[in-house]
Structure 1
Amino acid sequence: MDIRLDGRTAMITGGSKGIGLAIATRMAASGADVALLARRAEVLEAAKQAVGRTARGRVLTVACDVSQAAEVARAHDAVMAGLGRVDILVNNAGTSQTGAFTTITDEVWQADLDLKLFAAIRLARLAWPQMAERHWGRIINVLNIGAKAPKAGSAPTAVSRAAGMALTKILAGEGAPHNILVNALHVGLIESDQWVRRHAQQQAGSTYDDFLAEMGKGIPMGRVGTAEEFANLACFLASDAASYVTGTSINVDGNLSPVM
């Protein structure tokens, strides 16, 4: 199936590396104009060059911290000024902040919720009116499998991601009459920049490929997923091919999660 996004505009948070960059690359190659949002301008510039190699439309970058309400509003204004509309919103920004419950301070809880939950709320609220007016919109919330099956020591991430799953279902219900389709994709173990950093920190003497292979042993499919595999599903959900799919919560995890 040739998934096309010609004439659409996508805004992707956390778009400079990993899954966000893969989604931006896939959507741009499918014909969409794309706006990449991330904190560091220099990393965004490199991402723009990478996306531009196969892009069929325009590529815009906006440096911003989506955990800050004023920054979110400024970034949305910049995308509207540069590309004119937002048809597809991908809320991908986030980290894997975890720890023992009694060690997590109020400040850490608030920072995690601001980055993973309130950023998605604020961006959806800004994009919603124009999507409803055009009777076409897509919102994809990138969560993780811990939102469905949280383990001990997985706060605050599992809690903020579970809230994102509830938000997805609420928005899907309210968006359906306006043809605004809202879905969640749950990350399992997917190749991303966080694993590159973790491998470097461990300094275990193994290669990065060996590191990924070891992680893959605990996955039923026997390997870690790729960001491109994740991006393929995101692109499908953003397209007209998925015109009757909304309110879903899909694991992209090689059957790692015990919960569907």
Structure 2
Amino acid sequence: MQLTLAGRRALITGGSRGLGLATAHAMAGAGARVVLIGRDQAALDAAAASIPSSTPVRADIATAEGCEHAFRAAESALGGIDILVNNAGTSKRGPFTAISDAEWQADLDLKLFAAIRLARLAWPGMAERRYGRIINVLNTGAKAPPPTGAPTAVSRAAGLALTKILAGEGAPLGINVNALLVGKIDSDQWVRRHAADPGGQSYEEWMEEAGQSIPMRRMGRAEEFAAMALALASQPGDYVTGTAINVDGGASPVT
């Protein structure tokens, strides 16, 4: 089956690197025009140069003003938004008593409130056109939060609840809302973790070792994640809404 997004318009947060950039490549390759949202202008420009049909927009979506700017710029560039991929986020975690109020708030602002605000902005146009696809990128901690998994597992669990609520409200309007739950997938986040590891292993050796704890005995690839996002955004996802799909090589204890 040839997956196509010809004529569709996508807004992808965290689109300059990692999973967001891989998703942008997949959607643009299927015919969509895409807007890449990020905070690093140099990274955005490099990403946009690799995708001729893309538009880079610098915005801090951890704020209400940043979300408004990002959406309005994307809407102006594309004429409307058919697909929203809420991908921006970090993996902040640690012992519960060590997490400050400021860290809690920053995590919720970036991972939960950004998704709420952008979905709210995109919703009227999607409802009017009777077509919309919203994909919330979470992690497997949303279903199976580990010890020392806060604050990220808490904000991701809230994102899971948001996904189900929006799916129920959007179904009669032609708006499908789903979540993709990330496990260990080779991305910019893992490059940073390797850089902070004093062990002296090469990146390839370090990643191979990290993948041994996964049933598939390897880390996932960003392109594999992007393929799932593309499937949800295109025709195979037409009758799929309110789901939370693990993209984790079988690692999560929860289906």
The TM-score, its normalising length taken from structure 1, stands at 0.97
Residues 173-220 of structure 1, C-alpha deviations (whole Å, 9 max, x = no match)? 000000100000000000010111111121422111111100110000
**Which residue of structure 2 aligns with residue 178 of structure 1?**
173
Aligned residues: 255
**Which residue of structure 2 aligns with residue 143 of structure 1?**
138
**Which residue of structure 2 aligns with residue 124 of structure 1?**
119
How far off is 1:240 after superposition?
Answer: 2.1
Distance 1:117 1:78 in 2: 21
Runs of 4+ deviating beyond 3 Å: none
Does 114-123 or 40-49 show the bigger shift? Answer: 40-49
Residues 98-149 of structure 1, C-alpha deviations (whole Å, 9 max, x = no match)? 0100011111000000000000000000000000000000000000000100
One-letter identity of the residue aligned with 2:12: I
Q: Which residue among 95, 98, 111 is the counterpart of 1:100?
A: 95
- Stretches of structure 1 that go unaligned for 5 or more consecutive residues are 53-57
**Which residue of structure 2 aligns with residue 32 of structure 1?**
32
1:1-260 aligned at under 5 Å gives the runs 1-52=1-52, 58-260=53-255
One-letter identity of the residue aligned with 1:42: A
Distance 2:185 2:51 in 1: 20
SS state at 1:16 partner: coil
The TM-score, its normalising length taken from structure 2, stands at 0.99
- Stretches of structure 2 that go unaligned for 5 or more consecutive residues are none
SS state at 1:4 partner: coil
How far off is 1:82 after superposition?
Answer: 0.9
Distance 1:239 1:140 in 2: 12
Distance 2:100 2:57 in 1: 31
SS state at 1:12 partner: strand
Task: Report the identity percentage.
Answer: 61
**Which residue of structure 2 aligns with residue 55 of structure 1?**
none
How far off is 1:51 after superposition?
Answer: 2.3
